[in-house]
């Protein structure tokens, strides 16, 4: 089975490829296409944006598409950066810029009040217009110093109390099991397995 992954985020593509190992699914990323239409992520929720990406890319490639929309929500900041996570510090912001802005906003906030969670909405969209959605969350705390070199995005400052490590300190196989994306993927693979059985 061939699936196009509707993302140009290399960190996500790497994780999704690792998660699909052994499933027999051939994952093609947007890097394999030219003239990919630009997608304006103007939905109000992760799910709306994931569905929009999946639908547009399925129309463009004429293939089954998987799309992920994800981000970080920090409680004391009223859910910021949320759906704006990728462009928190501006349209061309790097992961470093986004973390700098986040830490500046949390400057005088004590550790106990820095609760946050990652969200992931995953959509599998078929060429006949039918689709399935999977959503999950991952709780943690935002710390002031960056720790670890794995992962991407806000991983170096996302501390997971149960594991006593940041997401960037976790080996990929652990992050892929417990993360928001990992848990949404577990649901996706279960649903896929059930459909293939029927
Ligand atoms: P695509 O739309 O092309 O998939 P994007 O990076 O713009 O790429 P999103 O709009 O879904 O994707 O934004 C996701 C952002 O949320 C991402 O750039 C990170 O800043 C953050 N994020 C999501 N999942 C993350 C994770 O597992 N670890 C760290 N940061 C994450």
Least confident of 2-11, 70-79, 98-107, 189-198: 189-198
Rounded CA-CA distance 140/45 in Å is 21
- Residue 3 C-alpha to ligand 1 middle, in angstroms? 20
CB 63 within 8 A of CB 38: no
* % of residues, the chain, pLDDT over 70: 98
Query: Please, are residues 159 and 166 in contact by the beta-carbon 8 Å criterion?
Result: yes
| Closest C-alpha residue for ligand 1 atom 15 | 86
pLDDT band at 198; cut points 50, 70, 90: very low
Identify the CA nearest to 152 among candidates 7, 2, 1.
7
Q: Where are the beta strands (DSSP E) in the chain?
A: 2-5, 26-29, 65-74, 115-125, 131-142, 158-160, 165-166
Q: For residue 81, is the peptide bond before it cis, meaning its omega torsion is within 30 degrees of 0?
A: yes
- The Cα-based distances of 43 to 8, 99, 109 in angstroms read 18, 23, 30
The response to whether residue 176 sits with its C-beta less than 6 Å from ligand 1 reads no
Predicted TM-score of the model (pTM): 0.94
Cα three-residue angle 77-7-165, rounded to 5 degrees: 50
Per-residue pLDDT at 196 exceeds 80: no
Name 102's Cβ contacts closer than 8 Å, sequence gap at least 6: 72, 74, 81, 88, 142, 154, 157
Average per-residue pLDDT for the chain: 95
Long-range contacts of 92-97 (CB under 8 A, 24+ apart): 95/152, 95/153, 95/154
Residue 21 has which token pair?
Answer: 């190992």
Q: What class is the 2-197 domain?
A: alpha beta
Distance 109 CA to ligand 1 centre (A): 24
- Among residues 32, 68, 69, 145, which one is catalytic? 69
How far apart are alpha carbons 7 and 61 in whole angstroms?
13
Q: Which residues pair with 97 in a beta bridge?
A: none
CA atoms within 13 A on the CB side of 71: 22
Q: Is 35 a catalytic residue?
A: no
Over its C-alpha atoms, the chain yields an Rg (Å, rounded) of 17
Answer for the pair 117, 140: CB distance below 8 angstroms, yes or no. Answer: yes
pLDDT in tens, 45-89: 999 999 999 999 999 999 999 999 999 999 999 999 999 999 999
Query: What's phi and psi for 81, nearest 5 deg?
Result: -80, -10
Residue 178 in this model has a pLDDT that exceeds 80: yes
């Amino acid at each position: 089975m061939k699936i196009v992954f509707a993302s140009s985020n290399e960190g996500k593509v790497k994780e999704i490829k690792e998660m699909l190992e052994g499933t027999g699914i051939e994952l093609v990323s947007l890097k394999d296409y030219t003239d990919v239409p630009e997608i304006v992520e103007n939905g109000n929720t992760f799910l709306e944006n994931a569905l929009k990406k999946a639908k547009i890319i399925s129309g463009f490639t004429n293939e089954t598409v998987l799309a992920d929309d994800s981000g970080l929500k920090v409680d004391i900041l009223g859910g910021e950066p949320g759906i704006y996570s990728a462009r928190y510090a501006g349209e061309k912001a790097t992961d470093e810029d986004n973390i700098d802005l986040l830490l500046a906003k949390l400057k005088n906030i004590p550790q106990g009040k820095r609760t946050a969670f990652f969200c992931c909405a995953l959509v599998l969209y078929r060429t006949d217009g039918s689709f399935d959605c999977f959503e999950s969350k991952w709780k943690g705390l935002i710390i002031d110093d960056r720790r670890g070199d794995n992962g991407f995005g806000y991983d170096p400052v996302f501390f997971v109390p149960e594991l006593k490590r940041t997401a960037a300190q976790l080996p990929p196989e652990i992050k892929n099991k417990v993360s928001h994306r990992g848990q949404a993927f577990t649901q996706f693979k279960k649903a896929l397995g059930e459909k293939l059985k029927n």
